[in-house]
Structure formats: structure tokens, C-alpha cells
Amino acid sequence: MKTFIIATHNKKKLAELERILAPLGISAQTAEQAGFTLDEPEETGTIFEENAYIKALAAMKATGMPAVADDSGLEVDALGGAPGVYSARYGAPEVKTDEGRYLRLLNEMRDIPDGQRTARFVSAVCCVFPDGECITVRGTCEGTIAFAPVGSGGFGYDPIFLVGDKTYGELDAAEKDRISHRGQALRKLRAALAEKMG
């Protein structure tokens, strides 16, 4: 199996990437699993694609191996697209947990009525190869913001993001992979890698 470095410390995100890439004969490992120490690059991008590239390039340079990075977040229309690229740092430095971030968001949305709570999850995934070639894809899942968290699955904002009548937090892994922003982006990446690898 060919090893690709996954530039993340998030075990659940790594598991999603492993499920999607395994059929291509690709072993997804973190830098630490492959025996490397990876510093966190500063995410200075203003769009998801820029931050995904920054992270993938840093991982490739540190390991000399193909590297994949995802930058994803939640865009809420009533909040002007926030938290967007700042989703993982929303409310920092005071707020330090996923629960704290989504509760803060729910509090900001407390006066927004049903019908005006539209939002989307966006995932940009970038793969950088040692020869400098780069593949970047995007996936989007439209939904709405719930009035209260439901479900214990997933991570991040999953318990408050409704697709139909279920939150991401209520979906099992297979259901989430099928509809999620990251699942869509990773299927596009898998198709591009299958073409590249012949």
C-alpha cells in the first residue's frame, strides 16, 4: 500500500479519510504514525482552499511524502457566513471546546426564526505531491441550524447542523460519508487520484 500523510490531529477526521482512501490501496497515516514530527503551520488563508494547501504543503515538506489536508467549516447565512474559515477557532481564546463553540453559535442565533437558519458545511481537500503537483477539491452540504444540539455522533458543529430532519450528530458513519461535505470532497479526491495513479 502507498502511504499518504494526513495533516490532522483529529482522529475522527483521519478515520473518514482512511475509509475513503483505502479502496485505492492508500494507507492514510498521520505524520506521527509515520515517525515524523509535524509543526502546525499558521493558517493565514481567507478561504478553505488556501488553508488546506498550507497544511498539505507543510506536511509534504516535513515528510517528503504525498500529503492530504482538509480545511472545513460552517457558513451560517444569518451570521454573514461566519464562522467560516474560523470555525475551529470560533470564540477563541475564551472558548476551547467543540461544545463551547456550537453553544456560542446557538446563542448568537437565538433570535433567528425558522426559515432563516440556512447554513452549509464546506470542505476543501488538498493533496500535495513531492513533485509539486497539487489536487484541490471542494464539497458542500446545505442544511439549517437546529435550535438545540441533538445526537452524540461526529464532532465539531455536527449536533446542531440539520440535514432534513436529522443532525450530523444523529447520523452513523456511512450515512454521514454519503451526504457530508467532506465525503463529497473526498470522493472527488479519490476520483482524481484514481485517474492520476492509473
HSE-CB for 80 with a 13 A CA cutoff: 2
Q: Give the Cβ contact number of residue 25 at 10 Å.
A: 9
pLDDT at 177 over 90: no
How many helices and strands (H and E) does the chain possess? 5, 7
Q: 99-116: per-residue pLDDT in tens? A: 999 999 999 999 999 999
Please state the pTM of the whole predicted model: 0.91
Q: 25-60: per-residue pLDDT in tens? A: 899 999 999 999 888 899 999 999 999 999 999 999
pLDDT at 134 over 90: yes
Question: What dotted CATH number matches 2-196?
Answer: 3.90.950.10
Q: What is the pLDDT of residue 153?
A: 86
User: Grid coordinates representing 43?
Assistant: 493558517
Catalytic positions? 71
Q: Is 135 left (phi over 0), alpha (psi -120 to 50) or beta?
A: beta
pLDDT at 142 over 80: yes
